[in-house]
Structure 1
């Protein structure tokens, strides 16, 4: 194993045992006894605020009551009927700002029910021993639907429409289905290859054919899909990464945080994954925190996350920021990257401009500082690439849809991060997928003209 004192980027900065501890599940599951005790704290509210706060509309009191009764399978059915990705959502959903924040217990005594951990308990118990399928597929409808993007939105649409008896062709550019659940989450949040297990269960309903490694705009076109299928759903996510200002070439050691996270999730042997000794992460969202914390867990001696605005402006939640600090990450605010320092095309540091808030916005103060670094991870956001879907109306750089997911093209729906107005959360993608699935199912059951489709979109988007 390479020693910690070796300068530059190298692998093996931790022992196998240290890697195992570092990337263990950050939130251990509840035991059966703990789950029942926690479930019995629930008031089982009528018109429960926790359910109203859940984008996927899970009947929270209903599944918690079943856990209290020892009916974990029944609890899982309630969850998965509303959210087919309820297992992953229980691990990564920001429940502290959604259902748990709305919990009556939180209002009364400042300690909400641990809804996420209870949801995980029920779904984990089900997936460990699923037994008889929870859902059965209807007779074939003879209709065919193309879904582009096997992320949370696309998987949700595929499952719901397959249950309705439609034949689904599910295309994705990557080798595996799952989207951000498979490639974009920190290993310590979703351990033991759970996203793949969840996808396998979701596809087991039948009627869904997965086509991995197929890219829209290269291997097939939107026009071809519209000609060959009765309906098309686009769950394309955000394929582009935002660039820093300036045209200077980046030295070795500068990486996109999303690529770093994706490669780390797919790495079979963490001892072979290279990491710098001093790492700087640029950004203030969940991706930045996930990248920074994992760099520290891989054995980086110093990891500094730098954000151009203040702490309260960060997209990463207070809980995530606190977690980063607990893991040894240094957070610095009011600093924007100015340039990468280098020697012989190798990163040696990052120079930042100190930023100042003004009535006109955040501006450079003229003061600078440099952080020594041999690795820099850029997490400054992603954007939608409109080229494969030319001809579809956009809004603020993403696909414009009505509340049912209809786009401006007849017979084409969309959902997830590629659409305008979303929350960029797995659970919100599920919500959009459910709405689109209902709309597609209705359209396939009741034939409508292209003109009617266009009228519905125009009325909804301007009403």
Structure 2
């Protein structure tokens, strides 16, 4: 029997009409018009030793591509971008430019805004993709075969670069679609329509890359087998496990992984998704912001994001935090989840304990608590790389939960490289692309020093 003080949970699909959903999930930042792009490009000072290029993890010649936009050469601008970052189209939409290139723009002063580098990058790459032109072709055949595990940003960037060098590449991917985070893990309003899929199609258009979906490491094949069959291997495994709260009732009806729900939002009909009237998000990174904002856009009446430390400690950028607030998300800080309260029909509220930093500089509870009613709770407390995916008898060295690599992204195993979220570094699409690119160049040098085996072994 339900306790009389417990309000019935209110979770249902279709909280908003489809036309409202369509508007809510339209482009967060509409593309620039030709005139807007021309005016914005003219603001660039085309700095020598430009700080924006230094701040870009992939080293795009930013003044170079903006100058080409200013002179009407959009195709050349796009090629300049993609030569260094083959996922420059995605990065134009999701890269935290406010912390990277635009942050260090010499125009970024108290009196003026930085040049809109991200939007100009999108303007150029959109033009190229719309034209249907393919500026890249597979290089002269080297006779070498490389396996890439994971079709996310790191794996696809590596595969494309290897193909340019003339190697034959086979990409193994667990999911039915390639793209990794870009396809499954980015807020739908940041990557609208089938942009991620079109980018994958463009990357594969270089030739010499075979994509094998539905193939999982340590299930369908082993790393040891790949090392025997191929001349080199790249591991772009990403984060393959989510963190847990370690609280009772964590698996109750209505308690969800934010990562899994973001995937559903990207892959399913928006009107079919169950949405609570009162939503609580636990976490402070960009994933927490993405799920909180999207639940509001899906029609949740109230969304409260709770983080255990202060605003300045949140993994989400200031830009993302501002977006959450302007979208109607309430952000509460210095509070840690203490207990999930459930009834027969699932979660009903969450208890939090106020936190503080103690004299030793560590996070500690205060012994004071508060409750937030909830029909749905989303856990967005991070992901990690589970090394159990690797062969126990043929495993590269792992430190602090990530595969150890050198500057060239080579692992401790000869002939095996790795990159992306499974190696140390910042978990961004742009850094994953750089990992894949750097690894491919290193692999090419290594493969060029080794002779192909004869047919009889």
- What's the TM-score bracket when you normalise by the shorter of the two chains? over 0.9
1:459 matched residue in structure 2 = none
Contact kept? 1:186, 1:294, Cα under 8 Å? yes
2:120 matched residue in structure 1 = 118
Deviation at 1:249, TM superposition (A): 5.1
2:187 matched residue in structure 1 = 186
Aligned ranges 1:265-280 → 2 under 5 Å: 265-267=266-268, 269-280=269-280
Contact kept? 2:242, 2:384, Cα under 8 Å? yes
Structure 1 residues 401 and 306: alpha-carbon distance in aligned structure 2, compared to 1, 3 A threshold: same
Deviation at 1:7, TM superposition (A): 4.9
Greater relative CO (CA pairs within 8 A, separation 6+)? 2
Deviation at 1:374, TM superposition (A): 0.8
SS in structure 1 of the partner of residue 137 of structure 2: coil
Q: Are residues 1:429 and 2:432 paired?
A: yes
2:4 matched residue in structure 1 = none
1:43 matched residue in structure 2 = 45
Contact kept? 1:222, 1:388, Cα under 8 Å? no
1:199 matched residue in structure 2 = 200
1:232 matched residue in structure 2 = 233
1:61 matched residue in structure 2 = 63
- Superposed CA deviations along residues 247-277 of structure 1, whole A, max 9, x for unmatched, are 555310000000000111001x211111111
Deviation at 1:163, TM superposition (A): 1.2
Contact kept? 1:238, 1:382, Cα under 8 Å? yes
Aligned ranges 1:326-341 → 2 under 5 Å: 326-341=326-341
Aligned ranges 1:38-437 → 2 under 5 Å: 38-107=40-109, 109-131=111-133, 133-248=134-249, 250-267=251-268, 269-360=269-360, 361-389=362-390, 390=392, 391-420=395-424, 422-437=425-440
Contact kept? 2:249, 2:341, Cα under 8 Å? no
CA distance in 1, matches of 2:349, 2:15: 21
CA distance in 2, matches of 1:406, 1:138: 23
Q: What is the TM-score with the length of structure 2 in the denominator?
A: 0.95
SS in structure 2 of the partner of residue 225 of structure 1: helix
- Superposed CA deviations along residues 217-256 of structure 1, whole A, max 9, x for unmatched, are 1111000000000000000001111111335553100000
Which is richer in helix? 1
SS in structure 1 of the partner of residue 155 of structure 2: helix
- Superposed CA deviations along residues 18-71 of structure 1, whole A, max 9, x for unmatched, are 101110100110001100110011111111110000001000000000000011
CA distance in 2, matches of 1:225, 1:415: 17
Deviation at 1:345, TM superposition (A): 4.8
CA distance in 2, matches of 1:217, 1:345: 38
Deviation at 1:396, TM superposition (A): 1.0
SS in structure 2 of the partner of residue 101 of structure 1: coil
1:460 matched residue in structure 2 = none
Contact kept? 2:250, 2:340, Cα under 8 Å? no
Deviation at 1:110, TM superposition (A): 3.6
Unaligned runs of 5+ in 2: 1-6, 453-457
CA distance in 2, matches of 1:124, 1:359: 52
Contact kept? 1:221, 1:388, Cα under 8 Å? no
SS in structure 2 of the partner of residue 100 of structure 1: coil
CA distance in 2, matches of 1:396, 1:25: 38
- Superposed CA deviations along residues 188-223 of structure 1, whole A, max 9, x for unmatched, are 011011010000000011100001111101111000
Deviation at 1:107, TM superposition (A): 4.1
Which shows bigger deviation, 240-249 or 400-409?
240-249
Unaligned runs of 5+ in 1: 450-463
